[in-house]
Structure 1
Amino acid sequence: TNLKRVFAGGEPLAPRTAARFASILPQVSLIHGYGPTEATVDAAFYVLDPERDRDRLRIPIGKPVPGARLYVLDPHLAVQPSGVAGELYIAGAGVARGYLNRPALTEERFLKDPFYPGERMYKTGDVARWLPDGNIEFLGRTDDQVKIRGYRIEPGEIEAALRSIEGVREAAVTVRTDSGEPELCAYVEGLQ
């Protein structure tokens, strides 16, 4: 009876999960958080409203937390208008300095912020768009990276590891949701 808020994050919040939560705990606020480790985990949040959000296909990731700036940019780092998809960038106080002992990756992902001289922004690899109400909607990834139960997974790395096994000629890794929950599935060719 004392529970007031529940924060959900790590991967997109499914509308049916949000609806089920609201039917079980209608007096508790459900907050959808967004943010990668490179931006202190929380860069945006969205407080769900069961009535307003009932027919959404995707639950928004929300608006920036205080001290964060979110940009939806095209490949030339130009701002995308509301409703137009682009890559999501995070700037502000919570952005990390870079990756430990990985200067090339740091240079690729942590760019100069073109809107705040002297500051940097993090290139998330996430595709998003601004909604007319000022919230951001997550649409997917620019690469093959997937998230399962909050863990970042690069299927290409798993495929390469499988191909390094003697007798494996080819490998493909995908995410399946047959059971209702996302699971990794690997297909290999060449093993006897």
Structure 2
Amino acid sequence: MVFIILVIFWACVLSLILYKVKSGRAAKWAKLFRILTVVFSISIFTYWFIKKSAVAFVDNSVGLQVVNKLPQTLDFYLIIVEKVDNNVVLNPKHIGKIRPEYYRIEYLKMDKSDEYWVAGYLGKKNLVYFSQHSVPNKNIDQIVEAQNYINQSVKLSEAAKKQVDAYNYENTKVGIWITLDFLLLFLNLVLLLKKNK
């Protein structure tokens, strides 16, 4: 997705530059390019937002229900521990903020894994809950209840913290690029509509 976001960014920048081409045969090609850029960008973002908003049912997955029994709202992350070519790969995923006595359901693809970790944050940096879970039977759904502030493993929780920090940093970068894309897309759309009046 990062590559497509960058392609949209540079296409929108080029479209803004091509707005200055107003005469001759090049003007028709410039306008066509601008129209295609706007249509392509809107299509990609529409598809992406629908995909992100849809419930993430996964075939042959393990259902995980994370329940917050603690008196404060916690921000939960899930780290799936995958074994790829004798190497351990940690894949973080943001579950979301869960209020007291509420829960979230995630569907985990556990083809290359039989273990996951759950990390709960109070605020942005304060890790107050960490638990390690194995999946002995991939046909049975899992329930994790955060009932007290525990850290089952300081070493593993430090590794989880690093993965969550890197994950959040990447999401922030992507968010900045998407914001720039939206701004440029809006400018291109306004200029196209203004031109068509």
Do the two structures share a fold, i.e. TM-score over 0.5? no
Q: TM-score, normalised by structure 1?
A: 0.24
Q: Considering fraction of residues, name the structure with more helix.
A: 2
Q: Which has the higher contact order (CA 8 A, sep 6+)?
A: 2
Larger Rg: 2
Q: Considering fraction of residues, name the structure with more strand.
A: 1
